Amino acid sequence: MVVQIIELPEKGMIINGLMSELTMFVIESYDTLIKINPDFKRSFETQNIEHLRNMRHRAKLLEYVKDINDGLLDLDSININQIDRFQSHHKGQLYKLKKLIQPDLGLTKYKGHFITTTHSTIFDLGSEVILEKESLFSFGETVGDYLQTIIGIFKVDETCIEKKYICRKEDYQMLDIKSKNLFNRSKFENDNKKFASALILILVRLNYTKTITSEFLPQHSDTLIRVKFLNTYHALKSLNKIQSIVMKGTPSDNERMFFKETLGKVEAKWLIKQSSLRNLYVHYLLDKKQLKRLPSKFTREEAIQVLSEGLSSQDIDKKLDVLLENITSMIEGFFKLTERTFWINRIET
């Protein structure tokens, strides 16, 4: 997928949404290879890889911290820093007017749906990272070197990678808006508006998975199912954390309905319990507790069936598609987002 994206003219609009996947893949596959054979360590630039370890936890969305409030503070600080970054240079008699109209949030749309924001990119990299070419180049260089090493070790034929993505420039839109104009669209009550940025973070992660990732990876492939599973699982876990706080207060009918429709579905209730299957998809290898549930000889598909309570990979894939569609449509409805939302804020690409 990365090999395909970096060859595209619109790669700058796509690659940002892949950062969480890349850091998780690099760290987890590296750790797995070292467990299998410690000699593999000699093949990699270990120091550079370790720099990605903190970023890797951002793939868990709001679960990357024990206290959800710390995650919300992180998102809030990203928003404040971005506003300051774009407004601090305004001076003179018209500075108040300039601040009033100055955009501070960049959005990328694909086929009418938000797939990345400047906030989500900073979040995935870590809020301590400056969103400049040097930081992105360092990240890209580390990931690129690692992938080339993997391709070399396992003699992967890059020409055999399935290519089904069709590039159409008109499918993409870039917009510059004021962040408050997006966050204030949510149906959260005033006391709960602080959760708006978290929902947008979840939305762009899942929209990217549902559209971009699903177009690049082979349909029903283990890799695609793994990505869909992990992103949807952590989205539900993050939503569950938000719900637990909102419900302690006096939730509105809109808030109650939103959480009922996103977390109350049969598929959602099943997925949120699948921590063991999640660990297999993340770490690639089975732990001792999981191995005790399996016969002495088994295939990966058989392991998935046991850990998922008897479901096949195709059954799981169907559940994930239902959940991806439901969660994204519910969040878009909660923010009253349509294909033409913020269309006046489009910029030329």
Find the helix or strand (DSSP H, E) in which 232 lies: helix 222-246
For residue 348, being part of any structural domain is answered with no
- How many other CB atoms are found less than 10 A from the CB of residue 112? 16
Is position 349 within any domain?
A: no
Do the domain assignments include residue 119?
A: yes
Question: Is 347 contained in some domain?
Answer: no
Residue 58 confidence class, pLDDT cut points 50, 70, 90: confident
Write the pLDDT tens digit of every residue in 266-308: 999 999 999 999 999 999 999 999 999 999 999 999 999 999 9
Domain that holds residue 249: 2-342
HEC assignment per residue over 29-65:
HHHHHHHHCHHHHHHCCHHHHHCCHHHHHHHHHHHHC
Instruction: Tell me the three state secondary structure of residue 140.
Output: helix
User: Which pLDDT score, from 0 to 100, does residue 292 have?
Assistant: 95
Residue 338, in any domain of the structure? yes
As a dihedral over the C-alpha atoms of residue 36, residue 39, residue 44, residue 50, rounded to 10 degrees, the angle is 60
Quick one: DSSP state of residue 116? Answer: E
- Domain assignment present for residue 294? The answer is yes
Judge whether 190 lies within some domain: yes
Is 113 among the domain residues? yes
Q: Could you read off the pLDDT of 153-190 as tens digits, one per residue?
A: 888 765 555 556 666 778 999 999 999 999 999 999 99
Q: How many domains does the chain have?
A: 1
